[in-house]
Amino acid sequence: MPETLALAEKSAELQQLVKRVANARRVVVVTGAGISVNSGIPDFRSASGVFRQIQAAHGHVVGKGRDLFDASVVFRSGAAAAVFYEWMTQLRRQCAAARPGAAHAFIRQLADRGVLQRSYTQNIDGLERKAGLRVWDPYQKPGSAGHVPWQQAHSVPLHGTMDHLTCQLCASAVPFAALPGGAAAGDACAECLQRSQAREACGRRALATGKLRPAVVLYEELHPHGEDIARIISHDARSRADVVLVFGTTLKVPGCRQLVRRLAAAPRTTTVVVNNEPVCGRAWDGVVDYQVVGCVDEWCARVQRAWNAQSKITQWATKRTRGAPAAKENAPEPTSRKRRVSDSDSDPEPTSRKRRAPDNNSSLEPARRSARIATRGGPADYQQRQPLSICT
């Protein structure tokens, strides 16, 4: 079982872990809904999460709240689909009004420091873009204003975003309007209607028209961009991050579990899970090194304080180095050095530099040195982890 550390306790081991993360040069972050709760967006699995809210309000339509996000269930009946469109429209408005939290600012700071290798998020709220991160968006065509090549992207959304609507029939994408008047979830696809009307104008039969739905990945459906995401993950896994940080997720989604295992498989990689409650059992032995129980925002604040301490030490050392030559030139010569040794002095050597008497046991020094080296020991062996296949 991974070692569990309580963030509320100021243990020496926790401090060492914070310093290790602060000194890392390549960091990968995997985030879940827990980092957006303080931004006003509810999570899904908690006692007050979206699943419980849906079950309480629409238990007569869906058996449980999770079914509303299950592609094999929600689109089988018109009533369930209508509830789905209603909730996604409400969630879209919440995402548009939300602002990035402390965890998003922390990830942005990692990018500014040049140590963020990638941030993978299960969230669909789009707060990473609001925090100033470059987000990979497969619906942005190359050459458009919002297009970011995956090689230059800071953040990769694993389950899509609420920024776009896609047609369930022709897969065309349009912006998801946060305010009334634009395209909304459940509307008829404009491109399907245009093609159908063109056929009818020619005297031919009308075509089926699809409905628009948010461009998010539901349970029990294939990811439309799964191959692209798998390619990015493979590239990042070969780069071997120093630290993998997992924030605000219960690690229940199979694709996210595979992602963490793949990234943590690299030798010398330290994997840290930070969550309000313990989520890693014995199944994570050899994968997760530490699980920190506590608020993600507080963890980020501790690492930031470690960065600030490093900056102060660097500034102090820089000032000391710059001021040292001038101080040395202007400093008066010590009086002990002004005295010149006269010819009448019997012992010209200063008393502080007396020659040390020869050691009769000098022949034992090599043996003692060998004994010290033997008791000190070599570097600890790092466990080799076999990489696992990834299924997104």
Task: Please give the DSSP secondary-structure letter assigned to residue 151.
Answer: G
| Contact present, 50 and 118 (Cβ < 8 Å) | no
The residue ranges of DSSP E strands in 217-321, in sequence order, are 243-247, 270-275, 290-293
Q: In this structure, which amino acid lies at residue 304?
A: Q
d(C-alpha 107, C-alpha 111), whole Å: 6
| Contact present, 172 and 191 (Cβ < 8 Å) | yes
Q: Are strands 212-216 and 3-6 parallel, antiparallel or unpaired?
A: unpaired
Residue with tokens 């798998």: 230
d(C-alpha 119, C-alpha 96), whole Å: 21
| Contact present, 68 and 80 (Cβ < 8 Å) | yes
Q: Are strands 3-6 and 160-167 parallel, antiparallel or unpaired?
A: unpaired
Active-site residue (options: 58, 159, 164, 225): 159
Q: Is the dihedral of CA 285, 119, 107, 52 positive or negative?
A: negative
Q: Is 154 a catalytic residue?
A: no
Q: Across the strands, what pairs with 213? A: 166
d(C-alpha 290, C-alpha 244), whole Å: 11
Among candidates 289, 244, 292, 259, which has minimal Cα distance to 383?
289
d(C-alpha 303, C-alpha 359), whole Å: 50
Q: In this structure, which amino acid lies at residue 303?
A: V
Catalytic residues: 159
